[in-house]
Chain A
Amino acid sequence: MLLRRSLTTGITVLIISTIAGALGHGFGGEAGLRQITQYLVLGLFAMSVDFLWGYSGLLSFGQAVFFGLGAFCYAWVRKGTFAFIPVLENSSLAGLLSAIVLPALLAVIVGYFLFYGKITGPNFTVVTLALSFLVSLLALGWSGVFGGYTGLPHVPPLALTLGNWEMSARAGMTSFVIVTALCVIAAAGLRSILATPFGLALEGLRDSEQRLQYLGMNVAQVKMVVWTISAAVAGLAGGIYSSIAGYVAYDLLGVLLSTEAVVWVAVGGRGALVGAFLGAVLVRAVSYALSGIALSYWMLFLGVLFILVVLLGSNGIMGLVERFRRGVPSATGS
């Protein structure tokens, strides 16, 4: 059961990635493929949001803090900022590892205060919003480290060395394959966590915190674990993103990206990792197709999406799929 579920999720992500990649390459050649690869990384980011929101009911408007921090970590390591620490010299692996570890550490610290302080519901959302807002302002002001408005350019792409085998993701196809593989592994991994007893506790958390307490679970602890895992995944996505985009700036930490990720999940459908992944790729692709309009009306586009999601009140694309599968013509509410 556990294996089958994670396998299905992994394969679905693989199929979506392949189709998206083929379309991107077909329409835009090498550049199109690179574009799609970026969207896939954002899809990975979206899955981290869904893991938190869709499964445990914690709606964060500050997830980009971890994504952005991951992106900066990779950039710092690859640009030799930490070269004085021997382990962290300019290596891709060290870059990605730091992109996972540092955001996770930050999540542990912040989470301790949030969850043991019993900050829940709307208050949790706005505190995370405040966090994202202020961290991005801080990054903007601290230009020596974060590069201010211009950010940090020329971040080197992934380059992995294993013994005699060397691989560099300079070519579009290589990086597409690496990213797809990572997304598949992450999706399957997250899904398998959800199938464990811990995952079942998570669903309990979403449905009724109180029931979980009666069962003798430590709610704050459960939240801490989910929050940290999701931050680590977001950080990893950030690290890969910076290796592909080759450029990081303060807005990767900001509120706009944080909430855009929430829209991806809402459009794709909550509580199904695949939906979040698809939502991210789709929303980004559509807005790119409309780029003439979308660039200057970007916030308008996002804002309308937010309101539509609420007014339509169904669970995004996955909700439609579910309905189709059950053969129910149309039911209101979810």
Chain B
Amino acid sequence: MGTGALIALQGLNSAVIISTLLLVAIGLWIIYGLMGVLNLAHGELLALGAYTVVAAGMLGLNGWIGTLLAVIVVGFIGYLLERTFVHRLYLRPLESLLATWGLSLIIRQVLQLVFGAAPRRVSAPVTGGVPMLGMAFPVYYLVILATTAIIVPLILWLFYRTTLGMKIRAVLQDREMAQCLGVKAATINTYAFVIGAALAGFAGAMIAPLISVEPWMGSAFLVRSFMAVIVGGVGAILGVVGGSALIGGLEGVIAFFGSSVIAQVIVLGLVIAIIRFRPEGLFTQK
């Protein structure tokens, strides 16, 4: 295989890493960037999505149905969480950190009690490979790329072209005024949180076949997607896309030469260095 082909294949692999990261990061961004709650349990919502697929598999359900279930189940859990206690946390950053961290510990423990601590493997709903540059590129990778290419514009459309999106942005910018124009701010916040949670569940379901599913799998994704959000800039959704591309791309390239842990440590170092000189994020224009 020539160097060109190798680079192209590496590029495709990086694109898959970026896609999965982007799916997670957008959900985190909706809840943080739009609503000001830094949800430290976002990684665990993702794990819940992955475990929903595991459970569906145990019941003999097809992987696609498992993915659909993951969206519904995690979205519903998100609804319960928002109604019971997350809604008390808006605009209280410190409390939201403590409470959502507590929540993440609880979810991890519950997952471990129900499914055990041992890693689980999930098989992809589609198998087989597409011959590409002399190698078989898994079809499922292509599914992930295509899904991300659909989801991201869909989210953009939802937030910038629909009435619900308009209301969500209005509540974020001036909660009282939005209420004075008939917007039920509490309900709107619930919707936004549920969308973020459902996205995390979806991402977890999509990622599950690529990695080993463990109760504490969420931490790594929380850390990476947070870095993507912060390096891209909290201000706009395009920042999340840019941030994910940067983080995922760097990880892919560095991991190619060494271990993935080293890659993540180096990327964290880079992110901290970047924020030192561009605190508002790389992709935000001020």
Query: A130–B101 Cα gap in the complex (Å)?
Result: 13
B13 within 8 A of A: no
Task: Determine whether the beta carbon of B226 is less than 8 Å from that of A126.
Answer: yes
Known A-B contacts A110-B272, A131-B268; the reply to A137 vs B261 at CB < 8 A is yes
**Cβ of B227: which chain A residues have Cβ within 8 Å of it?**
130
**Cβ of B112: which chain A residues have Cβ within 8 Å of it?**
299
Between B85, B94, B96, B101, the greatest number of chain A beta carbons within 10 A of the residue's beta carbon is seen for B101
The segment from B136-144, B181-189, B198-206, B275-283 found at the interface with A is B275-283
A303 within 8 A of B: yes
Give how many B residues have a beta carbon under 8 Å from the other chain's beta carbons. Answer: 40
Task: Determine whether the beta carbon of A300 is less than 8 Å from that of B109.
Answer: yes
Interface of B is mostly: helix
Within the complex, which residue of A118, A138, A262 is in contact with B98, where a contact is CB–CB below 8 Å?
A262
**Cβ of A118: which chain B residues have Cβ within 8 Å of it?**
279
Task: Determine whether the beta carbon of B219 is less than 8 Å from that of A133.
Answer: yes
Query: A305–B226 Cα gap in the complex (Å)?
Result: 25
Give how many A residues have a beta carbon under 8 Å from the other chain's beta carbons. Answer: 44
**Cβ of B99: which chain A residues have Cβ within 8 Å of it?**
306-307, 310-311
Give the number of residue pairs across the A-B interface with Cβ within 8 Å.
115
Within the complex, which residue of A119, A121, A266 is in contact with B275, where a contact is CB–CB below 8 Å?
A119
B129 within 8 A of A: no
Task: Determine whether the beta carbon of A61 is less than 8 Å from that of B101.
Answer: yes
Within the complex, which residue of B98, B110, B230, B262 is in contact with A309, where a contact is CB–CB below 8 Å?
B98
B108 within 8 A of A: yes
A116 within 8 A of B: yes
Task: Determine whether the beta carbon of B264 is less than 8 Å from that of A134.
Answer: yes
**Cβ of B279: which chain A residues have Cβ within 8 Å of it?**
117-119
Query: A133–B104 Cα gap in the complex (Å)?
Result: 15
Task: Determine whether the beta carbon of B223 is less than 8 Å from that of A134.
Answer: yes
Q: Which of A134-179 contact B (CB under 8 A)?
A: 134-135, 137-138, 140-141
Query: A140–B260 Cα gap in the complex (Å)?
Result: 13
B151 within 8 A of A: no
Residue in A closest to B276 when the chains form the complex, CB atoms: A117
B127 within 8 A of A: no
A12 within 8 A of B: no
**Cβ of B93: which chain A residues have Cβ within 8 Å of it?**
121-122
Known A-B contacts A117-B275, A126-B38, A255-B219; the reply to A300 vs B268 at CB < 8 A is no
B265 within 8 A of A: yes
Task: Determine whether the beta carbon of A300 is less than 8 Å from that of B105.
Answer: yes
Within the complex, the shortest CB–CB distance from A323 to chain B, in Å, comes to 20
Query: A306–B107 Cα gap in the complex (Å)?
Result: 13
Task: Determine whether the beta carbon of B275 is less than 8 Å from that of A134.
Answer: no
Task: Determine whether the beta carbon of A113 is less than 8 Å from that of B97.
Answer: no
**Cβ of B276: which chain A residues have Cβ within 8 Å of it?**
112-114, 116-117
Task: Determine whether the beta carbon of A299 is less than 8 Å from that of B106.
Answer: yes
**Cβ of B98: which chain A residues have Cβ within 8 Å of it?**
262, 266, 306, 309-310
Task: Determine whether the beta carbon of B109 is less than 8 Å from that of A303.
Answer: yes
10 example contacts (A-B, Cβ-Cβ < 8 A) are as follows A61-B101, A110-B272, A117-B279, A129-B40, A130-B268, A133-B220, A266-B98, A304-B106, A306-B105, A311-B85
Instruction: Give me 15 other A-B pairs in contact (C-beta within 8 A), A117-B279, A300-B106, A307-B102 excluded.
Output: A113-B276, A114-B272, A117-B272, A122-B32, A122-B97, A126-B223, A127-B230, A129-B223, A138-B262, A262-B98, A300-B105, A304-B102, A304-B106, A305-B102, A306-B102
